[in-house]
Structure 1
Amino acid sequence: AGLLGHIPQVVLMDSFGASEALGFGSSAMTKDGEVRTATFQIGPRCKVFDEEENLVEPGSGMAGIIAIGGPIPLGYYKDPEKTAKTFRTIAGQRYSIPGDWCTVEADGAMTLLGRGSACINTAGEKVYPEEVEEALKTHPIIEDALVVGVPDDKWGQAVTGVVVLASGVTFDEDDVRRHVRASLAGYKTPKHILLTQVPLRASNGKADYKTVTEFARRDLGLA
């Protein structure tokens, strides 16, 4: 949106895919338009399956795993186990399924939840970090945020936000928690919100969940 303020005549395109699967979906943003965060129009070769390998019904609210057919890689070099997990055949069609989960809206668009491998299991509920991260980053004092799960005797895993604050602001943890709770279910609201000045992302911009998880465990005395 900031870029469009400088060059309002352009259309910004956002493409969603993976190294193993190009063409999951796309979105377009114009100066006067509005795009929902992490929402994409589903690509023509893309399907969304539930855990029983049935197609997810649009508007059902059910989470499903994203798959793409058509021209896809043969597999990972010398890694048959990972190949079998990612490249699967469903109803006679071979798909690439890197592990991203989403919901399918009533209009057919997909709303990305995140990678299943990063999913936090708290009190029997699944929480996808990206959804909570986006809620945290909409608070005006937060510059960046990652969300991880840490061991917890009561919850199994406790949803934990690690945030970098904007300069010159005062941190109010309860206010940040209320802000998240206003848009997400209570079980998705972080039990802990930790401050750090260390970059949360690798040099390529990808979230560094491993380092952030280690930091959170140390900060909470769980290392």
Structure 2
Amino acid sequence: MPRRKRDSARKIASEPPQNTTLTAFFQLCQTDPFAKTLLYLDVPIYYTWDKTRKIFQRRKQGMPEEGHPEIMKTNAIGRVYTVHPNNAECFYLRMLLHEIRGPTNFTDLRTIDGYICHTYREACQRLGLLENDNHWELTLQEATLTASAEQIRELFAIILTTNPSNPKQLWDSFKRNMSDDILYQIRQANPELIIEFNDDIFNETLIRLEDKCLAINNQTLVEIGMPAPQRNTFSVLNYEITKEKKLQRQ
């Protein structure tokens, strides 16, 4: 190996890994008693991020926190990066960051009532976070802010394969978001008609969802607790559109 490359490799090996905002939060909780009371997403309210030093520092301006006059706060909103459920352990780690206050390391996030769980998923289970679909509701709500209908369908298909407790309720809450592109395509093809969401459009969405679930783990929607799509009814929508066009021409 050339000398320059050897020196660079030696330098990298000798340098400690750079802080991320999460590891900096752990360090903050080790030294700052107030930080120990916070969730990770609360940190930007009371601290600023020093990009050069890779550390959090207490805000010097803002409103004093009630009961802690030395602590300044603003209305800054913290956000934990969205994680796809396919990346399972990172997904459950993200859930724990919304629940565990003042962790000083990754092990703290897996420690529930003194017991160190083997995985982040196990920690979520011990906290009761997987007993209902609140985490899936939050995941889908966040997806609707930036994802396309096709991407939301893909996400929902993956969620369905994890056996949520009430998939039908999740479907009812987000079926419009998952059907936006289908409605758009039909409106583009029929600009003279007023077309809104309807059962036939939702049925086409169910067909596409079932195709994804069959590809992922060979399960039909009925097997997962979802309504069964009718494979021949999207033609009914086409028939209704054709009939309405004929009526308009008369």
Q: Calculate the TM-score normalised by the size of structure 2.
A: 0.24
Q: Calculate the TM-score normalised by the size of structure 1.
A: 0.26
Please identify which structure carries the higher strand content: 1
